[in-house]
DNA sequence: GATGAATGAGGCTTCATTCAT
DNA sequence: CATGAATGAAGCCTCATTCAT
């Protein structure tokens, strides 16, 4: 029963529910990241988690739901960290906007693999019931900054809502393209270009 | 597009190779679009094409290669149409840039489904040999416009290369988000917002 | 040997691993024997074993490996029985040689079908990893008798190693020819002729 | 249409029947030898022969019959060459027996691959109708020598018929074992051991 | 709670054979 | 005689999910 998550002998087989769920989530992320979402099998996941097949279904109703949970968790954490960085940037809206950009770029790289898993898998939002409430996402986060700057009279944007979506999308695709081609891994340059674009978009200078 | 799944008696079974290939390509697109790439089966494809299983393998070495061919074809055509629209816009670079945006927006909607198939499926560029040369893509197309405007002294962009990628990404993701939520299908507004962003990005007014 | 293809209701589905493996082995032999190795399908095997397709792959990595296991098992058992008969024949080397011949002939007939399966199918020893150590085979068994008789001064053979291989081969092909033509199923006569040949080969009388 | 048997331009497409049949036979042997009988496909064969799929069925009713024809041809030729060598050996029966052995050993090696194809593939003699008359085979050939020696009073064998089969089998299996293990490719030694065995079997010295 | 042997529908691909030209 | 596109039955194997213990 060798596995990277082998259970130590004598250890109790049962764990608090939350901890088991965590193990499964971690294992899922590891496997999805390693093998790719499509190629990953439930067998891989439970082996990685050091748990029996059936146990998985005690915590998630299906493989699809594990992915969904992973995606939600990833974005929630990401946004929380970004929001914090923005809050720490002070009161100047231009600074806050820059802080948003920098935060995204410093946060993404370590999670590049997760990013792929998160954003590039077509989760069927059809049969996968949407129990949980929609969470605050990247667009909401950027929207707050832009709306704030406008309210303060610093930014000038004709259609803030759409512009926010567009800018947010700019980054996403940029990441994909850049990373997948393993070219231009020049973060400072990327940060600069992105800041410039954002500034121009909100009418700064 | 021969009637799916039926063949008139007495009709010749064989067709010119190019035509059969076309049928398969059409059938593939239809099925991928209807069922989604992951759920689509080869059975679906050949049924749609009104052809036997084995026939498929006379034209494509695998399901993956059908997808690849479809993707290539889609982007090549899209870019060709956009390039044409830009060329028809006259000599003013601002007009050309606007023409690019308008072209994209008028061209995409009918191909929304294909767009999903094309851009959202992780084609394993590993074992799927890359025989054909890289083709001109959307980024190349936008790049030409931006580089042209800069060369003419009309546009001013600090980092044209990255800015092009960013702007291109803006649209892509925007489409995804907008369409997938079936909200804001307000194309004129979308065109206006995008033009504004592009103008700002290249330093117009 | 559970009734093929049926399972009593309420009966537990799971069995001790060894037992399931046995069922599969038995089913495999039955099917290979009935249909021939090439024509046998996995469907046949699992139907015979009263088990689902997937279950097979819990015990063997492929159809090829089932055959391999069957072959190994057959030869190991055969050789064990022959060795026992030889040991029981006493100390006279001529008697032991005769015992070897008789043992082979009494043992083979009931296993004629298995013999075909075992010796006539080209198991690709290429990708079929050879985990287990080489086992004692018929040639080894005969070799021990011949070497023993030589050491005792009873037999006289110029090239014992090759002669052993040759004598062993004599029988094999003889069986094939004789059985496949369903002629000359006269075992006593066959035993006599073989004993004579073996005696002559080792220089007796 | 590249192939090792490409047709020269301007060459007539039709050939005398016998020649076409020869081409197919040659191609079949080449492919069976190269890929192995089981892995060889009809596509391989016709490509090798530089002929269309349908043409094959003008000359052979099935793939199985091609193999059968190849086997027959191989053995007929082999036996003819051996018989000739025996005839050339003079009138002494011991010499003739030795000549038989030597002939087999000099003839086999170059045809090792064909030997495998010929003797190791289970041709279903069930549905493959046996139109042609049985041909003279190796056993017949050896039988004539042994019977001749007995008639001349030179050989003494209790059961000539079975002994012949046994001796013939000795060689066959020996070849398989020896060649397949790429060990003991020491032909002179093999010839000597075989001669010894044959001499002993017919009561010489 | 936890287990893991068992399931079985269904996927992709192969290839001997046919037949209209 | 020759062609080769088309056929389609059949094969092997995968894997999400279940359920008796």
Q: The tokens 């803030």 sit on which residue?
A: A160
**Count of beta carbons in the 10 Å neighbourhood of residue C202:** 23
Comparing C-alpha atoms, which of D36, D88, D53, D10 is closest to residue B58? D53
Please name the CATH architecture into which domain D13-60 falls: Orthogonal Bundle (1.10)
Res B9: pLDDT: 42
Residue span(s) of chain D under CATH 1.10.357 come to: 68-201
> Do the chains contact at B166 and A36, CB–CB below 8 Å?
no
Task: Examine chains A and B and say if they touch (3+ CB pairs below 8 A).
Answer: yes
pLDDT band of residue D189 (cuts 50, 70, 90) is confident
Lowest mean pLDDT among A145-159, B31-45, C150-164: B31-45
Comparing C-alpha atoms, which of D39, D72, D73, D45 is closest to residue D57? D45
Low-confidence spans in chain C with pLDDT less than 50? 1-10
Res C10: pLDDT: 41
- Residue A124 confidence (pLDDT) above 60: no
- Considering only the top CATH level, what class is B11-60? mainly alpha
Res C6: pLDDT: 42
* Cα D203 from Cα D205, distance rounded (Å): 6
- Residue B185 confidence (pLDDT) above 80: no
| More confident of the two residues A176 and B183 | A176
Task: Examine chains D and C and say if they touch (3+ CB pairs below 8 A).
Answer: yes
Res B65: pLDDT: 92
pLDDT band of residue B186 (cuts 50, 70, 90) is confident
- Considering only the top CATH level, what class is C65-201? mainly alpha
Least CB-CB distance to D174: which of C38, C166, C197?
C166
Q: Which option is the CATH number for A63-201: 1.25.10, 1.10.238, 1.10.10, 1.10.357? A: 1.10.357
How many Å lie between the alpha carbon of C14 and the closest alpha carbon of chain D?
37
Q: CATH for B70-201?
A: 1.10.357
| Strand F contact at CB of residue B14, distance < 7 A | yes
Q: What is the mean pLDDT of residues D4-33?
A: 74
Mean pLDDT over all residues of chain B? 84
Lowest mean pLDDT among A102-111, B4-13, D14-23, D175-184: B4-13
Q: Judged by CB atoms within 8 Å, which residues 15-44 of D form the interface with C?
A: 36, 38
Separation of C43 CA and F10 C1' (Å)? 11
pLDDT digits (tens, 9 = 90+) for A167-198: 998 988 767 766 666 555 678 888 899 999 99
List of residues 6+ apart from D42 with CB closer than 8 A: D53, D56, D63
Q: What is the mean pLDDT of residues B1-19?
A: 55
Query: 3-class SS at A39?
Result: coil
> Do the chains contact at C174 and D162, CB–CB below 8 Å?
yes
Res C5: pLDDT: 38
Res B175: pLDDT: 72
Mean pLDDT over all residues of chain D? 83
Res C23: pLDDT: 94
Res D204: pLDDT: 93
| More confident of the two residues C16 and B154 | B154
Residue span(s) of chain C under CATH 1.10.10.60 come to: 1-60
* Cα B87 from Cα D126, distance rounded (Å): 73
* Cα A196 from Cα B1, distance rounded (Å): 49
Separation of A76 CA and E3 C1' (Å)? 33
Residue span(s) of chain B under CATH 1.10.357 come to: 70-201
Separation of B154 CA and F16 C1' (Å)? 58
Prediction pTM value? 0.79
Q: Is CATH 1.10.10.60 the right assignment for the domain spanning A10-60?
A: yes
Helix (H) or strand (E) holding D199: helix D187-201
Residue span(s) of chain A under CATH 1.10.10.60 come to: 10-60
Please name the CATH architecture into which domain C1-60 falls: Orthogonal Bundle (1.10)
Please name the CATH architecture into which domain D68-201 falls: Orthogonal Bundle (1.10)
Nearest-Cα residue of chain B relative to residue A192: B159
Instruction: Give partners of A (≥3 CB pairs < 8 A).
Output: B
Burial of B202: CB neighbours in 10 Å, binned 0-12, 13-18, 19+:
buried
Task: Give the DSSP per-residue string, C29-71.
Answer: HHHHHHH-TTT--HHHHHHHHT--HHHHHHH-SSHHHHHHHHH
Res B110: pLDDT: 63
Q: Looking at the complex, does the CB of residue D123 fall below 8 Å from at least one CB of chain C?
A: no
């Amino acid at each position: 029963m060798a596995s990277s998550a082998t259970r130590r002998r004598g250890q109790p087989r049962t764990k608090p529910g939350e901890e088991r769920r965590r193990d499964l989530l971690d294992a899922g992320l590891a496997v999805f990241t390693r093998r790719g979402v499509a190629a990953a099998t439930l067998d891989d996941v439970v082996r990685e988690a050091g748990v029996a097949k059936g146990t998985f279904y005690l915590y998630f109703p299906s493989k699809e739901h594990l992915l969904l949970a992973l995606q939600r968790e990833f974005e929630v954490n990401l946004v929380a960290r970004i929001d914090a960085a923005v809050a720490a940037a002070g009161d100047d809206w231009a600074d806050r906007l820059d802080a948003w950009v920098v935060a995204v770029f410093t946060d993404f790289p370590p999670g590049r693999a997760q990013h792929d898993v998160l954003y590039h898998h077509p989760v069927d939002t059809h049969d996968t019931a949407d129990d949980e409430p929609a969470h605050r996402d990247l667009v909401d986060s950027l929207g707050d900054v832009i709306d704030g700057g406008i309210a303060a009279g610093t930014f000038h944007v004709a259609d803030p809502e759409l512009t926010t979506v567009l800018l947010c999308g700019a980054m996403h695709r940029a990441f994909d393209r850049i990373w997948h081609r393993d070219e231009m891994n020049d973060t400072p340059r990327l940060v600069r270009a992105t800041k410039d674009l954002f500034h121009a978009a909100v009418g700064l200078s």
